[in-house]
């Protein structure tokens, strides 16, 4: 299992993202995930995404495709549907990193 | 574990406990817990809570407008398994000291749902956060959020007859979370 980087993002990258990141770090330790968890504010998300493997986004509503899997961070705050969210994240963490697609053109 | 090590560990644990307890009582105050709040709108709830924080010197005068603006743009209502909550907060320049002010509402009040543009949630308990340094406050913030996941806790908090009872329920729940963290 290769090392993965989880990026957590909220409006300001402070209260809710830091709180969510703390919860994810705890879950990561329990599950022995080989991950690091970073936090970014929404406005700087595009610059923060490169090098990250999964985006955990809390707010605002944002349909942008950042090219990496994206899941909602709200369950880490509420506990509502948290087990399902952890399983989704678990699958992403344990997936083999996709190889860089070879450019054909 | 040898007996001597066990003793040291208990002593450390005790020291650790009292530090953490101080930390909780630094941000959680009975005077910031409002029970049986009747409000017609989220704006009204935010005004009540922000005024409470302002009166006791935890936020600047600018906090009220800032927290209203932010809630309008980025709503903080959250569905939980039991009782929906909201976590209004705003930028640190409006904050003087870290705290949480809590309104237990008599009737649900509609808030926008966090992370959505048009969804709403009937909120029954509002936790207004004044945060200066998320790195320092992340421990109690994450414990506070963990209490939402304790079965029955939000329902119990909602039924608090007065601020003293609500305060005690919160202290107990935060202590329970802290102990659970130590078990890990």
CA distance A51 to chain B (A): 23
Domain ranges, residue B131: 28-183
ipTM passes above 0.90: no
**Is B70 inside any structural domain?**
yes
Residue B89, domain member (yes or no): yes
Measure the N-to-C terminal CA separation of chain A; round to a whole number of Å. 31
In-domain check, residue B34 = yes
Residue B13 domain flag: no
pLDDT exceeds 80 at position B4: no
B19 within a domain of the structure (yes/no): no
The answer to whether position B20 is within a domain reads no
In this predicted model, what pLDDT tens digit does every residue of A18-59 receive, in sequence order? 999 999 999 999 999 999 999 999 999 999 999 999 999 998
Give the start-to-end residue ranges of the domains of chain A.
12-94
Given a cut of 70, whether residue A61 has pLDDT beyond it is yes
Domain contains B163: yes
* Length of chain A as a residue count: 105
Tell me how many domains chain B contains: 1
Q: Which of chain B's residues have a Cβ under 8 Å away from the Cβ of A15?
A: 87, 89, 129, 131, 134, 137, 141
pLDDT in tens, B95-154: 999 999 999 999 999 999 999 989 999 999 999 999 988 777 888 888 999 999 999 999
Is any Cβ of chain B less than 8 angstroms from the Cβ of A25?
Answer: no
- What pLDDT, in 10s, does the model give residues B44-58? 999 999 999 999 999
Return the CATH number at B88: 3.40.930.10
- Say yes or no to pLDDT of B85 above 80: yes
Does B18 fall in a domain? Answer: no
């Amino acid at each position: 299992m290769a090392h993965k980087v989880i990026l957590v993002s909220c409006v300001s990258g402070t209260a809710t993202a830091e709180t969510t990141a703390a919860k994810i770090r705890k879950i990561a330790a329990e599950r022995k995930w080989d991950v690091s968890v970073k936090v970014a504010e929404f406005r700087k998300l595009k610059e923060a995404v490169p090098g990250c493997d999964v985006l955990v986004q809390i707010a605002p509503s944002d349909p942008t495709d950042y090219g990496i899997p994206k899941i909602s961070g709200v369950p880490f705050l509420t506990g509502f549907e948290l087990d399902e969210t952890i399983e989704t994240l678990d699958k992403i963490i344990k997936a083999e990193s996709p190889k860089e697609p070879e450019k054909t053109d | 574990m040898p007996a001597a090590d066990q003793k040291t560990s208990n002593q450390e644990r005790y020291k650790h406990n009292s530090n953490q307890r101080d930390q909780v009582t630094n941000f959680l105050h009975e005077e910031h817990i409002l029970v049986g709040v009747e409000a017609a709108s989220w704006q009204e709830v935010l005004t009540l809570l922000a005024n409470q924080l302002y009166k006791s010197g935890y936020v600047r005068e600018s906090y009220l407008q800032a927290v209203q603006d932010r809630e309008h743009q980025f709503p903080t209502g959250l569905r939980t398994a039991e009782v929906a909550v909201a976590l209004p907060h705003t930028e640190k320049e409006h904050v003087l000291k870290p705290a949480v002010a809590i309104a237990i509402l008599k009737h649900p009040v509609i808030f926008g749902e966090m992370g959505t543009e048009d969804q709403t949630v009937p909120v029954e308990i509002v936790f207004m956060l004044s945060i200066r340094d998320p790195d320092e406050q992340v421990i109690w913030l994450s414990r506070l959020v963990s209490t939402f996941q304790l079965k029955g806790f939000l329902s119990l908090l909602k039924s608090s007859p007065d601020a003293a009872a609500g305060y005690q329920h919160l202290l107990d729940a935060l202590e329970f979370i802290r102990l659970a963290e130590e078990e890990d």
